[in-house]
């Protein structure tokens, strides 16, 4: 159960677009003028005898504050670095960024490198004083990627980009680079961009291909402690990117032995019966090609894989409140069996038949038991269900599975700054509840935490599924993890956990779940080094 972040920061593969002619009125030009818009993947370089009009400053309307947000720096969109970006507040149209060229310069080309959260409609404006703005071009029904806009010569000091309509109503906008160019003869002090940023490397198009399966490094045994991490992608392609490979290599260095790959489908509302993957060109569902690459990469590193399908509600409601009906379960069965067969083909070591679906796991017991049988008919590895922390004690089919899976976002205390001893006491209480449940229900299966995590925000122990404050507290995150491992590694029935969360690209948010560069990073690596 997580309230931080569904739309994670991603990189994306784009197809080459076609050149289109668009007509627009420009101030000072009496007739209609023709300008050109080119769209393509992240490999296009500027042509012609143009120089880069390097900004001296940038100003933005707002900044993203989500878990996956980049640093709050407007110049990130004008620094020649394709690992940094500007992202404004989520869920809002009308957000803007403008660059200051230092003095009036002659502009003839703009290049926008959109991140996956692009603007479908947007406007470019120019100004001499950053107060009075003139419209240069209005763009509608765009498709992201790189957009190169050639303009008639326009003299201005300031150039603004306003996002008018988001490509996805749940996202914001995001820009890797916003570049301005002009003729060398009219801008004699400026240089080609390759001289300004000699190490500039635009992002490459991700090539999506179905890979042949690699062999498994071995089955998941109840005798071996699972040292896992959840690895979540909300992009069709980024699991196939070099950046994703690098993150998996980094995770291997934290002594992680298992990685849980989530792939998310969607239904429109709680009552909807149909579920679907998002658009394979710009949606949040990883393609089979990207998924095959990530599984193979994990196996090549000796990591064992859990494939964990998720179902989210587009309206924003918690999946645990989906009531389901016969038609819903028919469609859910098709969804799960599709990925069970995929897991079998790619030698995945564990398959999760569902995540936090308490509204159906209790009510539709016969259907779940039949689903478990159907999955076992096509998949021979270990099977688990990921119950929410307030659901697990009522799930009726645990003995049909290989592990009891709990998404363990248990509140530990009612304090913002508990001591380590208080956190340990909180975990002693929660582990006692789990142990009592196993005995009472005569559950003879080992327990794993299919998800467990804490943000690095003050008070995270009280509400582990979110950042309950805007105050950074790395120590509380680290102490919560340390307390959990201190208690649980002594329990014979507990056989491992999957930390929430890592993404297939770098993120930099001081309040998020990720541990990289934080105190919890060392705690996780040390415990994973010794846990057995």
- What does the DSSP assignment read for 390-429? TTGGG-S-GGGSSEEEEE------S-SS--HHHHHHHHHH
Length of the chain: 532
State residue 143's pLDDT score: 83
Helix (H, G, I), strand (E, B) or coil at 79: coil
Label each residue of 439-478 as H, E or C.
HHCCCCCCEEEEEECCCCECCCCCCCCCCCCCCECHHHHH
Cα torsion 249, 254, 257, 261: sign: negative
Residue 375 near residue 394, CB atoms below 8 Å: no
Q: What is the pLDDT of residue 507?
A: 62
Burial status of residue 75 (CB atoms within 10 A of its CB: 0-12, 13-18, 19 or more): middle
Encoding tokens for residue 343? 């897991």
Tell me the average pLDDT across 124-134. 97
**Over the stretch 21-69, which tens digit does the pLDDT of each residue have?**
222 222 222 222 334 444 444 444 445 689 999 999 999 999 988 766 7
pTM surpassing 0.85?
no
Q: Model confidence over 210-247: pLDDT tens digits?
A: 999 999 999 999 999 999 999 999 888 899 999 899 99
How far is Cα of residue 32 from the mean position of the Cα atoms in its chain? 43
Report helix angle 288-300 to 242-252, nearest 10: 30
In tens, the pLDDT along 398-416 reads: 999 999 999 999 999 999 9
Q: 3-class SS at 228? A: strand
What per-residue confidence (pLDDT) applies to 492? 96
Q: Tokens standing for 118?
A: 């692009």
Domains and their CATH numbers in the chain: 20-196 (2.60.120.260), 226-530 (3.20.20.80)
Q: Which DSSP string do the residues of 315-356 spell out, in sequence order?
A: TS--GGG----HHHHHHHHHHHHHHHHHHHHTT-SEEEEEES
Q: How many whole angstroms separate alpha carbon 434 and alpha carbon 487?
A: 13
Comparing C-alpha atoms, which of 100, 138, 116 is closest to residue 41? 116
Residue 309 φ/ψ, nearest 5 degrees: -65, 140
User: Can you tell me the mean pLDDT for 95-114?
Assistant: 97
Reply yes or no on whether the pLDDT at 9 is more than 80: no
């Amino acid at each position: 159960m997580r309230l931080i972040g569904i739309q994670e920061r991603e990189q994306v593969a784009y197809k080459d677009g076609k050149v289109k002619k668009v007509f627009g009125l420009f101030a000072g030009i009496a007739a209609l003028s023709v300008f050109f818009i080119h769209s393509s993947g992240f490999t296009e370089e500027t042509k012609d005898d143009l120089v880069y009009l390097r900004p001296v400053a940038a100003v933005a309307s707002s900044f993203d504050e989500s878990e996956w947000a980049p640093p709050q720096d407007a110049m990130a969109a004008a620094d020649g670095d394709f690992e940094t970006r500007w992202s404004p507040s989520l869920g809002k149209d009308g957000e803007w960024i403008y660059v200051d060229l230092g003095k009036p310069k002659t502009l003839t080309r703009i290049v926008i490198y959109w991140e996956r959260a692009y603007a479908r409609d947007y406007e470019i404006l120019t100004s001499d004083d950053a107060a009075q703005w003139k419209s240069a071009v209005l763009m509608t029904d765009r498709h992201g990627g790189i957009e190169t806009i050639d303009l008639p010569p326009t003299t201005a000091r300031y150039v603004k980009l306003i996002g008018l309509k988001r490509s996805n109503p749940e996202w914001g906008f995001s820009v890797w680079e916003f570049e301005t160019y002009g003729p060398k003869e009219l801008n004699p002090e400026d240089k080609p961009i390759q001289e300004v940023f000699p190490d500039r490397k635009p992002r490459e198009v991700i090539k999506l291909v179905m890979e042949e399966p690699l062999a498994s490094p071995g089955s998941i045994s109840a005798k071996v402690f699972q040292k896992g991490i959840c690895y979540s992608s909300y992009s069709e392609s980024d699991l196939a990117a070099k950046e994703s490979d690098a993150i998996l290599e980094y995770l291997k260095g934290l002594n992680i032995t298992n990685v849980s790959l989530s792939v998310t489908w969607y239904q429109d509302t709680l009552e909807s019966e149909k579920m679907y993957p998002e658009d394979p060109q710009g949606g949040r569902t990883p393609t089979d090609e990207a998924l095959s690459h990530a599984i193979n990469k994990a196996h090549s590193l000796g990591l064992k894989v859990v494939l964990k399908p998720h179902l989210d509600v587009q309206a924003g409601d918690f999946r645990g409140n989906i009531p389901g009906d016969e038609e819903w379960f028919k469609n859910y069965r098709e969804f799960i069996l599709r990925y069970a067969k995929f897991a079998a083909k790619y030698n995945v070591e564990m398959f999760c038949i569902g995540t936090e679906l308490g509204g159906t796991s209790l009510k539709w017991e016969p259907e779940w038991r039949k689903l478990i049988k159907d999955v076992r008919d096509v998949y021979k590895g270990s099977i688990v269900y990921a119950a929410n922390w307030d659901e697990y004690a009522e799930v009726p089919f645990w003995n049909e599975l290989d592990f009891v899976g709990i998404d363990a976002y248990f509140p530990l205390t009612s304090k913002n700054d508990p001591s380590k001893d208080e956190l340990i006491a909180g975990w002693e209480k929660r582990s006692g509840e789990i142990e009592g449940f196993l005995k009472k229900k005569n559950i003879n299966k080992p327990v794993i935490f299919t998800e467990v995590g804490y943000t690095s925000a003050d008070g995270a122990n009280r509400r582990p599924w979110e950042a309950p404050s805007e105050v950074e507290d790395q120590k509380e995150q680290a102490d919560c993890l340390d307390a959990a491992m201190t208690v649980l590694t002594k329990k014979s029935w507990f056989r491992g956990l999957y930390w929430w969360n890592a993404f297939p690209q770098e993120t930099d948010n001081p309040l998020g779940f990720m541990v990289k560069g934080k105190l919890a990073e060392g705690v996780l690596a040390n415990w994973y080094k010794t846990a057995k």
